[in-house]
Amino acid sequence: MTKTFKGRDIISIHDFSREEIEHILKVSKDMIPAARGEKRNLSLEGKILSTIFFEPSTRTRLSFEAAMNRLGGSVVGFSDPEITSLKKGETLADTIRMVESYSDVIVLRHPMEGAAKLAADFTEKPVINAGDGAGQHPTQTLLDLFTIWTEKKDIEDKNVVLLGDLKYGRTVHSLAYALAMFGANLTFVAPEVLQMPKEVVEHVERQGGSYTSTNALEDAIESADVLYVTRIQKERFPDPAEYEKVAGMYRVDNEILTNASKDIIVMHPLPRVTEISPEVDTTEHAIYFKQAFNGVPVRMALLALIFDVVK
Amino acid sequence: MKEIKVAPIKNGTVIDHIACGMAFKVLKVLGISDGEVDSTVSVLMHVPSKKMGWKDIVKVEDKELEQIEVDKISLVAPEASINIIRNYEVVEKMDVSLPDVAIGILKCGNPNCVTNANEPVETEFTLKSKDPIRLNCKYCDRELDDIVDHII
Ligand SMILES: [Zn+2]
């Protein structure tokens, strides 16, 4: 059964059942015309959303702001460069209690794991986690699921290849878990040192998910419906030499995509650097810009559900 | 079998049925090596036991354990039994059972966890499995390694 969404915090993808996620996806689909500006929807008129970003993430913040504006609501907030209170040593708990009085819903991004959970302990207002360090980023996971679901009509039994930094990449951990919950077949493609951590694999197994691990992209994409590419981030590596070894290992270009089905979709949470060649952008496979847009209807759906203006 | 050569205590707490070798961890949990107890503590190690084969026993004189200390002991010696002694009599048996939620008795081992950042919250860990004991932080969701080292 689905719990009510009214007033609910959105902290972790683990807080949602499959039925609840399916419901969010359906509502998201209904939001597309309003997300594109083709239809007016003022159901959150008079409501204020605050964006509290303790580290920069322009695209996530813009996506939330667009979603709130598309529903007729307003946005207040601050992001990284303006944060002076943090330097003065104000606790997150105090910041949240201050912000609570200015807004009806709080969107938080913070470098420490568990920050959103803590924030939710200190306010009655709903808190949406927009990323907490190496922890959770549930709205990214939902928009990724929504993209696969709308492009491929279903998630169950789809072959999904997750490629790149599977060790440190936060988005792929939550995504792997959620895809397993939906019964997708997973293939983890990464250099040995960046393979999926044990606890994530355990999570996938507990969901009854099937997966294989490999470092051979050519073979993995042959039967793939979805290729999900992530960036290998230099700053994660203590030793720059280690980074250089793996950085250029995978590059998705039109040549490698000749191994894949003509219907394969290529996804990426963005920003990309060199892991997807620009020549892919103009092919039917490239879905990543559409995926970024999908953040808007998905976040609109969550806001509408939290404020109980849709059922 | 020889009689145990440690006299019964008049007042205090007897922690019996500690898994063999875990007595020192119990002492650590009780803060005995940190000078938090100012009475006699006797430790019996490798004592024959009908139930367990071998066991350890810790006796703390003139101190009755509080629930929070019992909760901490449950993390290192879940099999233990705790008796409160007054005038050589057992007046109370305290239940050592793993709490489903451990609040404020453990520090999260993840340095990037928000509970390690001077926020006004108590740590909270959820029991994921009893044997072996596995606990997850409510905030960062990481599993706690080396439980004994993280008891506050
Ligand atoms: Zn933690």
Q: What is the mean pLDDT of chain B?
A: 90
Which of A51, A60, A123, A230 is an active site residue?
Answer: A60
Q: In the CATH hierarchy, which top-level class contains the domain B12-95? A: alpha beta
Question: What's the pLDDT at B91?
Answer: 95
pLDDT above 90: residue B30: no
Query: Cα separation of A161 and A286, whole Å?
Result: 15
Q: Is A220 on the interface with B (CB under 8 A)?
A: no
- Report which of A298, A305, A311, A304 is spatially closest to residue A45, judged by C-alpha positions: A304
* One-letter amino acid of B88: Y
- Report which of A32, A120, A13 is spatially closest to residue A304, judged by C-alpha positions: A32
The answer to whether the Cβ–Cβ distance between A92 and B114 falls below 8 Å is: yes
Query: Cα separation of A91 and A120, whole Å?
Result: 14
Question: What's the pLDDT at A236?
Answer: 75
**Four-point Cα dihedral A183, A298, A270, A172, nearest 10:** -30
| CA B77 to chain centroid | 6
- Residue B3 — pLDDT band, cuts 50, 70, 90? low
- Domains of chain A, earliest start first: 13-136+294-306 (3.40.50.1370), 139-291 (3.40.50.1370)
The answer to whether the Cβ–Cβ distance between A110 and B114 falls below 8 Å is: yes
The interface predicted TM-score of the complex, written ipTM, equals 0.88
Question: What's the pLDDT at A85?
Answer: 54
Q: What is the location of CATH 3.30.70.140 in chain B?
A: 12-95
Q: What is the mean pLDDT of each run of 10 residues along chain A (311 residues)?
A: 85 95 98 97 97 90 97 89 62 92 96 95 97 91 98 97 89 93 96 89 88 93 96 81 84 95 96 93 97 98 98 85
**Greater confidence, B99 or A155?**
A155
User: Could you tell me which CATH number the domain at B101-150 has?
Assistant: 2.30.30.20
Question: What's the pLDDT at A311?
Answer: 85
Residue A91: list chain B partners with CB under 8 A: 118-120
Residue B112: list chain A partners with CB under 8 A: 111-113, 133-134
Task: Determine the number of helices (DSSP H) and then strands (DSSP E) in chain B.
Answer: 2, 8
Whole-model pTM?
0.89
Query: Cα separation of B75 and B77, whole Å?
Result: 6
Structural contact between residues B16 and B83, judged by C-beta atoms closer than 8 angstroms = yes
The answer to whether the Cβ–Cβ distance between B113 and A199 falls below 8 Å is: no
Question: What's the pLDDT at A245?
Answer: 82
Question: What's the pLDDT at A80?
Answer: 65
Residue A6 is a catalytic residue: no
- Residue B33 — pLDDT band, cuts 50, 70, 90? confident
- Report which of B78, B83, B94, B82 is spatially closest to residue B147, judged by C-alpha positions: B78
Q: Is A93 on the interface with B (CB under 8 A)?
A: yes
Which of A137, A158, A173, A299 is an active site residue?
Answer: A137
Q: Is A110 on the interface with B (CB under 8 A)?
A: yes
Query: Cα separation of B127 and B96, whole Å?
Result: 15
Candidates A118, A121, A133; nearest CB to B112: A133
Q: What is the location of CATH 2.30.30.20 in chain B?
A: 101-150
